[in-house]
């Protein structure tokens, strides 16, 4: 039986592909209160965040969040004249994408 590699052990390209795949179903995307607050402050619409999750690129390695046990990935995309970055938490035990924050 083939075992699946943990997300933390996967390459940036594999982590990115996982996020892109999970983001195809918006039911997999959960916005934290912090993310919603920052999105409002920075005038970043939810569709821009979703597009970033679906098509954005990871330009740096994911970082482990010691408090939550999740892996935090930053995806970036140029949308409507703006560079948007979204930090999303992923976990081996849960297919959900937890939007931690969004910035431009």
Over the chain, what is the mean pLDDT? 93
34: domain CATH number is 3.30.2310.40
Count of domains forming the chain: 1
Q: Write the pLDDT tens digit of every residue in 4-17.
A: 679 989 999 999 99
- How far CA 61 is from CA of 34, 77, 100, in Å, comes to 22, 16, 16
Any domain includes 14: yes
Going by the DSSP 8-state scheme, the letter that residue 87 receives in this structure is E
Which residue range forms the structural domain that includes residue 40? 9-103
Residue 5 confidence (pLDDT) = 78
Query: Which of 9-23 are b and which e, b meaning 16 or more Cβ less than 10 Å from the residue's Cβ?
Result: ebeeeebbebbeebb
Residue 72 confidence (pLDDT) = 96
Any domain includes 4: no
Any domain includes 1: no
Per-10-residue mean pLDDT of the chain, 104 residues long, equals 74 96 97 98 97 97 91 95 96 92 96
Residue 1 confidence (pLDDT) = 44
């Amino acid at each position: 039986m083939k075992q699946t590699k943990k997300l933390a052990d996967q390459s940036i390209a594999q982590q990115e592909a996982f996020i892109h795949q999970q983001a195809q179903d918006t039911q997999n995307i959960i916005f934290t209160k912090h993310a919603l607050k920052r999105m409002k402050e920075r005038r970043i619409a939810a569709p821009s965040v979703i597009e970033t999750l679906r098509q954005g690129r990871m330009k740096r390695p994911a970082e482990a969040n010691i408090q939550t046990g999740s892996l935090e990935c930053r995806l970036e995309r140029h949308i409507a004249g703006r560079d948007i970055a979204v930090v999303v938490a992923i976990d081996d035990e849960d297919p959900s994408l937890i939007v931690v924050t969004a910035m431009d």
